[in-house]
Chains A and B, each alone.
Chain A
Amino acid sequence: MALPKRIIKETERLVSDPVPGINAVPHEDNLRYFDVTVDGPSQSPYEGGVFKLELFLPEEYPMVAPKVRFLTKIYHPNIDKLGRICLDVLKTNWSPALQIRTILLSVQALLGAPNPDDPLANDVAQRWKEDERAAISTAREWTQTYAKQDDV
């Protein structure tokens, strides 16, 4: 089926007016599948890292949320080993007026504001609560190890 106008327009704008620190490019053979990179926010343990994600727009989009997943390993209480993200706007709080760019901004914001009280990765969240300093330092190490631009 032809690609809805909405997806075409969103993709056009992602290219013509990109969000600083966020990059999303659709696959040539599947325009609903995007390769994404998000820069770790400054002042966070993810600063300096470039994180790879995949984003998929289901058939019902925008009536349902896009599927987003981290491909780069990341130490974060709301992101699990498989890269799945615990973020309200991707689940219950999705609204069809949200867009690819706003969702990716939310993901980037989540990196800057980890929420260990609503965990997805239980072990990480627990460590985050018990010894935040150590957890942040691990997050920083993982960023250095897995999220440096050269590896992407």
Chain B
Amino acid sequence: MKFAKVFQQLLDEENIPKEWMGAAIQYKALKKCINKVVQELEELGLEKETLQMLLAYENAQRNHVQDNTGKGRPKLIYSFEGTLREFVPKITINLDNFNGMPLSAQISPETREKLESLVAHGATRSSHISSIGNDSATVDTILSSPMDNEIYISARADVETDGCEGDTVSIATSTSSTGAPTAADNSDPSSGKRRSFDLRDLFKSEYNLMQSTGSMQVEHGSEETKGVPDGIEAPSGGIPSTVEIHLHSDSEFFKMLCSELAALDSLHEEQEKELNEHVSDIARSLPHVVSPVHKKNDLYVWREIFRLYIDAGVFFSSLEQDHGERTVEKAKQQFTWFTDQIDRMDLVSRFKSPESKVLLESFWKLNLSLLQSAQFQELNQTATTKILKKFDKQTALTAREVFPEFYFNNPSGSVSASVAKSVCFTMADQLLTLVPQLDDYICPVCYLIAFKPVRLDCGHVFCIRCLVKLQRQQKDSCPICRQNVVAQANGRNIDTALYNQLRLYFPKETKAKQAENDREVAREQFRLEEQCVIQ
């Protein structure tokens, strides 16, 4: 099935709220836009096969040691320039200065031909666009005399319908003169500029296409400054020059994608805020029912619920084999496991306070909203990946590689972290901490509650029984950090605050541990006596 259909179907099935739908990636519209890019590339003679060839060559070059002959230069680069608000995707092709050909002869004759015709294409295209007429295209082509070896071709099409300014279809070619460029050419750009203006005037009269001279001048100024340094920086000998192609539909595609990603980001931000508030709401009410100070509290039930929730690792796994963020599908499974466990253990019936039940429902809803949000986010991520893949497949350009880098490295482009990550952090920070878990208070030696707690001078806490055993073995190093602090420990190392806290929050466990400690002491004494008898 086509992804466009699958995508729509999934959006429908998941009961995504209507107000979110507007922010979903417009997969179909973007797909149509790709067709336009393909068409535009074809008109320029840059069919998929041609681009593929150039890109394949570039990739091969990357893996080799680059030489000084200029052959090592990438032949074709696809890149994004500018900020997120104002950027142009562009295709840059390096040309050989001898014949205006792409570097090296390792490309097929057809490709050569196509690129050869590119320069001339500007002129052809101008007549083509002028014949369309209705989208107010201005095409302006400047050809300096062939003797100068300076060619600036720039075709500009202003399409007013989408209201975007500066949509440019421009082919800017600058070929510096063979061998050493003449000093005059490079050191006196103003003369060059004047010359091009003259030439443009010439074109103006010839094609009668100029509609906005002002903007054209700016355009030309910039094109020219691009061209001139190229000539200067290149060493004499094989001087490569470049053709830069800015496609109108290409910009349109990525501007559309960017604005959609931005809309998604702001939606996610909103959801994140809402869900975090939801967490805070529960966190404000929960102390009423779990506080051990109240006689009828639900401390143990909530501890069990949160322990199950932590074990489930609904959104993030902390296991060795699959740690990290889970897929939405897996998260749903884990959440189902969690709710099943609560049912199975019949925890709700153990609630003493009716408020607990309300809070559990609220907690349940919070997780469902979070799952839905994560689902929506994942769907859009898939759609974005797919559309970029499609773009690459149809045009042979490298958007999948270049665009995410451009988008996410851009300071104004928000790093769209997952909503789940943020909300889970708030949960762990504000909510789960309200009910201390036993695992956080166990002695690292016997794995029972660290009671009575002894805090060594290094800061590590053990139960008094294990510490006594260590001292008896005359081990002086702390089991955790190996500092020599065991022997010097005595009564002052009992952590009274922790002692009281453990008694308050873990009354059952501390009692059991105390009994266990007593039993062990008794056993030891008995054994000693027994030994005495035998002796």
- Say yes or no: is A27 at the interface (Cβ < 8 Å to chain B): no
Q: Which of A6, A10, A20, A62 contacts B320 (CB 8 A)?
A: A20
Q: Which one of B444, B448, B470 has the greatest number of beta carbons of chain A within 10 Å?
A: B444
Please tell me if the beta carbons of A97 and B479 are within 8 angstroms of each other in the complex: yes
Please tell me if the beta carbons of A97 and B321 are within 8 angstroms of each other in the complex: no
Interface size class of A (residues with CB under 8 A): 10 to 19
Residues of B within 8 A of A62 (CB): 445-446
Please tell me if the beta carbons of B446 and A95 are within 8 angstroms of each other in the complex: no
Residues of A within 8 A of B445 (CB): 6, 62-63, 96-97
Please tell me if the beta carbons of A97 and B446 are within 8 angstroms of each other in the complex: no
- Say yes or no: is B466 at the interface (Cβ < 8 Å to chain A): yes
Please tell me if the beta carbons of B320 and A96 are within 8 angstroms of each other in the complex: no
A17 to B319, CA, bound (A): 6
Contact residues, B208-264 vs A (CB, 8 A): none
A63 to B446, CA, bound (A): 10
Contact residues, B424-482 vs A (CB, 8 A): 444-448, 466, 469-470, 473, 477, 479-480, 482
A98 to B445, CA, bound (A): 8
A5-28 interface code vs B (CB 8 A; 1 in, 0 out): 110011000001111100000000
Residues of B within 8 A of A19 (CB): 320
A17 to B466, CA, bound (A): 26
Please tell me if the beta carbons of B473 and A63 are within 8 angstroms of each other in the complex: yes
Interface size class of B (residues with CB under 8 A): 10 to 19
Please tell me if the beta carbons of A6 and B446 are within 8 angstroms of each other in the complex: yes
B508 to chain A, nearest CB (A): 15
Residues of A within 8 A of B321 (CB): 17-18, 20
Residues of B within 8 A of A4 (CB): 446
Please tell me if the beta carbons of B448 and A63 are within 8 angstroms of each other in the complex: no
B381-421 interface code vs A (CB 8 A; 1 in, 0 out): 00000000000000000000000000000000000000000
A17 to B480, CA, bound (A): 22
Please tell me if the beta carbons of B466 and A96 are within 8 angstroms of each other in the complex: yes
A80 to chain B, nearest CB (A): 27
A98 to B447, CA, bound (A): 12
A18 to B482, CA, bound (A): 27
Please tell me if the beta carbons of A95 and B320 are within 8 angstroms of each other in the complex: no
Please tell me if the beta carbons of A96 and B447 are within 8 angstroms of each other in the complex: no
Residues of A within 8 A of B444 (CB): 96-97
Please tell me if the beta carbons of B479 and A6 are within 8 angstroms of each other in the complex: no
A55 to B448, CA, bound (A): 23
B531 to chain A, nearest CB (A): 16
A6 to B463, CA, bound (A): 13
Residues of B within 8 A of A20 (CB): 320-321
Please tell me if the beta carbons of A96 and B479 are within 8 angstroms of each other in the complex: yes
B94 to chain A, nearest CB (A): 40
State whether A95 and B479 are in contact (beta carbons under 8 Å apart), knowing that A63-B469, A63-B473 are contacts in the complex: yes
B482 to chain A, nearest CB (A): 7
A37-63 interface code vs B (CB 8 A; 1 in, 0 out): 000000000000000000000000011
B197-215 interface code vs A (CB 8 A; 1 in, 0 out): 0000000000000000000
Please tell me if the beta carbons of A95 and B447 are within 8 angstroms of each other in the complex: no
Residues of A within 8 A of B477 (CB): 95
Residues of A within 8 A of B479 (CB): 95-98
Residues of A within 8 A of B319 (CB): 16-17
Residues of A within 8 A of B470 (CB): 63, 96
A6 to B470, CA, bound (A): 16
State whether A18 and B320 are in contact (beta carbons under 8 Å apart), knowing that A63-B469, A97-B480 are contacts in the complex: yes
For residue A6, which residue of chain B has the nearest CB?
Answer: B447
Residues of A within 8 A of B473 (CB): 63
Residues of A within 8 A of B480 (CB): 95, 97
Please tell me if the beta carbons of A5 and B447 are within 8 angstroms of each other in the complex: yes
B464-507 interface code vs A (CB 8 A; 1 in, 0 out): 00100110010001011010000000000000000000000000
Residues of A within 8 A of B320 (CB): 17-20
Contact residues, A86-101 vs B (CB, 8 A): 95-98
For residue A97, which residue of chain B has the nearest CB?
Answer: B479
A4 to B447, CA, bound (A): 9
Residues of B within 8 A of A17 (CB): 319-321
Residues of A within 8 A of B448 (CB): 5-6
A19 to B321, CA, bound (A): 7
State whether A9 and B469 are in contact (beta carbons under 8 Å apart), knowing that A19-B320, A95-B482 are contacts in the complex: no
Residues of B within 8 A of A63 (CB): 445, 469-470, 473
B529 to chain A, nearest CB (A): 18
Residues of B within 8 A of A95 (CB): 477, 479-480, 482
Residues of B within 8 A of A96 (CB): 444-445, 466, 470, 479
Residues of A within 8 A of B446 (CB): 4-6, 62
A95 to B460, CA, bound (A): 14
Q: Which one of B446, B470, B482 has the greatest number of beta carbons of chain A within 10 Å?
A: B446
A98 to B480, CA, bound (A): 8
A25 to B445, CA, bound (A): 21
Q: Which of B447, B466, B482 contacts A9 (CB 8 A)?
A: B447
For residue B311, which residue of chain A has the nearest CB?
Answer: A16
Q: Which one of A17, A19, A97 has the greatest number of beta carbons of chain B within 10 Å?
A: A97
Besides the contacts A6-B446, A95-B480, A97-B479, what 4 more A-B pairs have beta carbons closer than 8 Å?
A17-B320, A18-B321, A62-B446, A97-B445
19 A/B residue pairs, CB under 8 Å, sorted by A:
A4-B446, A5-B446, A5-B447, A6-B446, A6-B447, A6-B448, A9-B447, A16-B319, A17-B319, A17-B320, A18-B320, A62-B445, A63-B469, A63-B473, A95-B480, A95-B482, A96-B470, A97-B444, A97-B445
* 8 cross-chain pairs, A with B, having the tightest CB-CB distances, nearest first: A97-B479, A6-B447, A95-B479, A96-B445, A97-B444, A96-B479, A17-B319, A9-B447
